[in-house]
Amino acid sequence: MRGVYSMAALDALAESKYADDIKYIVGSSAGAINASYYISKRTKQAVDFYVRYLSNKDFVNFLRLKKIVDIDFMVDTLKAKNPLEIDLLEKSKIVFDIMLTDAETGAPFQYRNDGKADIYELIRATSALPLLYGKIVDIEGEGYVDGGVATPIPFQDELIEEYDLTIVILTKDICARPKEMGFLMRKAYKLFLSKYNDALVEEIIERNGESNIMMDYLQNKADKSKVLVCHPSDMSKMVKRTTANQSKLEVCAKMGYDDMCSVLNHI
C-alpha cells in the first residue's frame, strides 16, 4: 500500500507545468502500476482506488496464509472499477518500461509497454510478491515475479546522460539502510520460499544490499542538478505494505502530493 504515496506524487506531477515534458518512465511493482495510471491520465482516480478499494480484507488478509496479499483481486478490481486508458498507453509519446524479475534466474527483465503483452498481466507480474502472493505469472511463455526483487529502485545511470533531469520517487526514508539478513532470517526465507528456484531466493535475500547501494548514491553522490529525489518527508505518516486504514492512506497520499510539489519547486 506504500504505492499510494508515489501515486499521489505522480498526481502532483500530472497537475504541474512539467507534465508534458515527461519523456520516459520506468517502474517496478507499485511504481509500474502508478506509471500506467499517470500515462492514462487517471492519477486522481488511482489515488482514490488505493484508498477506497484496496483498504479491505479482500486485498490484504493475514489469515489467508497462502495469499496474504491478493494481487488477483487487485487486478480484477482495477479492470472493473478503474480501468486503464489502453489507447493512451499505447499511443503515448512517453516511453514506458516495466521491470519484472525472472522467476528462474532472479535477474531483472525490462519489458517495454508496446502493446504486445496484456498490460494487466504485466501489472500482475511486477506486483507478484513471492512471500505475500506466492504465484509466478506467465508473460509470453516465461515466468516472472515482483519487479522490486531484482530492481527495488529502477534508476539507471544512462538516464542522466539521456535526459536533462530525472525524478526518482522513493517510498522509504532516504536515510534508511536496512541490514543484510542474518543467518536465521536467511534460513527462514529459504524455508518459506522453498517452492521457488534457488537463484530467485538468493536475489530476494540479497536485495537489501543492492538497494542500499542505490540509496547511498541517490542521497550522497547523484548530481543534484540532474537528479531530484521525492521521498517521504515524515516517516510517521508513511504507510506499510499491508496498511488497510483509509485515514492513514489518505494522510500518506497528501504527504506524497505535497512532497512532489516541494521537489518541483526546486526546478
What's the pLDDT score for residue 180? Answer: 85
Single-letter residue type at 138: D
What's the pLDDT score for residue 128? Answer: 97
Contact criterion met (CB below 8 Å) for 108 and 146: no
Handedness of CA 62, 66, 71, 72 (dihedral sign): negative
What's the pLDDT score for residue 156? Answer: 81
* Mean pLDDT, the chain cut into blocks of 10 residues (267 residues total): 97 96 95 96 96 94 92 96 92 94 96 85 96 95 96 86 93 91 92 94 90 92 91 97 94 98 94
End-to-end, the C-alpha distance of the chain in Å comes to 29
How far apart are the C-alpha atoms of 49 and 44, rounded to whole Å? 9
Helix axes 198-216, 183-192, angle to 10 degrees: 130
What's the pLDDT score for residue 196? Answer: 95
What's the pLDDT score for residue 221? Answer: 86
How far apart are the C-alpha atoms of 222 and 176, rounded to whole Å? 17
What's the pLDDT score for residue 208? Answer: 85
What's the pLDDT score for residue 173? Answer: 93
What's the pLDDT score for residue 159? Answer: 82
